[in-house]
Amino acid sequence: MSSTEALPAVHAAPRVVPFVRDLAAHGGRCALVTSGPGRREVSYAELAARVAALAGRLGVTRRLVLVEGANDLDAVTAYLGALAGGHVVLLVPPGGAGPLLDAYDPDVVLARPDGSRDGPLDLRERRAGSAHELHPELALLLSTSGSTGSPKLVRLSQENVQSNAESIASYLGIRPSDRAVTTLPVHYCYGLSVLHSHLLRGASVVLTGLSVVDRCFWDLVRSEGCTSFAGVPYTFDLLERVGFERMALPSLRYVTQAGGRLDPERVRRFAELGRRSGWDLFVMYGQTEATARMAYLPPDRALEHPGAIGVAVPGGSFALEPVPELDGSLGPGVGEIVYSGPNVMLGYAQSPADLALGRAVEVLRTGDLGRRCPDGLYEVVGRRSRFVKVFGLRIDLQQAERVLAEHGLRAACVGADEELVVAVAGEAGAALRLAVRELGLPPHAVRVCRLEELPRLSSGKLDYARIRELARGPGQAPAGDGAGAGSVRALYAELLDRPDVGDGDTFVGLGGDSLSYVEVSVRLEELLGVLPPAWHTTPVGELQRAAAGSQRPVGRRRFGRSLETGVVLRAVAIVLIVGTHAKLFTLLGSAHVLFALAGYNFARFQLASPDRRERLRGQLVSVARVVVPSVVWIAAAALVTGTYGLLNVVLLNAVLGPESWTRQWHFWFVEVLVYVLLGLVALLAVPAVHRLERRRPFALPCAVLAVGLLGRYGVLDLGVPNPKPVLWLFALGWMAARASDVRRRALVSAAVVATVPGFFGDPWRDALIAAGVVLLTWVPVLRCPARLSRLLGVLASSSLYVYLTHWQVYPHLVGVSPVLAVVASLAVGVAYWALASALMRRLPRRAGRAGARLPRPRAAVEGARDRLRSGV
Same domain, 507 and 599: no
Q: What's the pLDDT at 825?
A: 96
Does any domain span residue 800? no
C-alpha to C-alpha distances, 703 to 696, 845, 871, nearest whole angstrom: 11, 40, 36
Query: How many angstroms separate the CA atoms of 263 and 793, rounded?
Result: 44
Same domain, 510 and 635: no
Query: How many angstroms separate the CA atoms of 642 and 635, rounded?
Result: 10
Same domain, 340 and 395: no
Q: What's the pLDDT at 852?
A: 32
Same domain, 130 and 261: yes
In this prediction, residues 22-49 reach a mean pLDDT of: 94
Same domain, 91 and 171: yes
Does any domain span residue 5? no
Same domain, 362 and 284: yes
Q: Residue 562: what residue type?
A: S
Does any domain span residue 799? no
The residue range of the domain holding 452 is 391-461
CATH number of the domain within which 413 lies: 3.30.300.30
Same domain, 779 and 670: yes
Q: Residue 432: what residue type?
A: L
Q: Between residues 545 and 601, which one has the greater pLDDT?
A: 601
Q: Residue 676: what residue type?
A: V
Last residue of a domain, one of 509, 525, 559: 559
CATH number of the domain within which 511 lies: 1.10.1200.10
Q: Between residues 845 and 266, which one has the greater pLDDT?
A: 266
Does any domain span residue 113? yes
Does any domain span residue 812? no
C-alpha to C-alpha distances, 376 to 230, 297, 380, 552, nearest whole angstrom: 26, 11, 13, 67
Q: 251-271: string of b/e by CB count within 10 Å (b at 16+)?
A: ebbbbbbbbbbbebebbbbbb
pTM summary value: 0.54
CATH number of the domain within which 74 lies: 3.40.50.12780
In 546-674, the DSSP E strands lie at 561-564
Structural domains in the chain (count): 4
Q: What is the pLDDT of residues 738-778, one digit of tens each?
A: 998 899 999 999 999 999 999 988 999 999 999 999 999 99
In this prediction, residues 352-358 reach a mean pLDDT of: 95
Q: Between residues 793 and 363, which one has the greater pLDDT?
A: 363
Same domain, 611 and 523: no
Same domain, 231 and 121: yes
Does any domain span residue 589? yes
User: Could you give the count of Cα atoms lying within 13 Å of 131 in the half-sphere of its Cβ?
Assistant: 17
Same domain, 125 and 155: yes
Q: What is the pLDDT of residues 164-213, one digit of tens each?
A: 999 999 999 999 999 999 999 899 899 999 999 999 999 999 999 888 98
Report which of 407, 441, 309 is spatially closest to residue 366, judged by C-alpha positions.
309
User: Could you give the count of Cα atoms lying within 13 Å of 797 in the half-sphere of its Cβ?
Assistant: 26
Does any domain span residue 791? no
Does any domain span residue 633? yes
Same domain, 248 and 160: yes
Q: Please report which helix (H) or strand (E) contains residue 280, including its range.
A: strand 280-285
Residue 297 — φ and ψ, nearest 5°? Answer: -100, 115
Q: Between residues 479 and 400, which one has the greater pLDDT?
A: 400
Last residue of a domain, one of 559, 590, 617: 559
In this prediction, residues 616-638 reach a mean pLDDT of: 92
Q: What's the pLDDT at 157?
A: 97
Last residue of a domain, one of 786, 819, 845: 786
Concatenated DSSP letters of 112-145: -GGG-SSSPPEEEES-SSBSS---TTEEEEEEPT
Same domain, 618 and 528: no
In this prediction, residues 104-121 reach a mean pLDDT of: 80
Q: What is the pLDDT of residues 795-807, one digit of tens each?
A: 998 999 999 999 9
Q: Are the CB atoms for 217 and 211 separated by under 8 Å?
A: yes
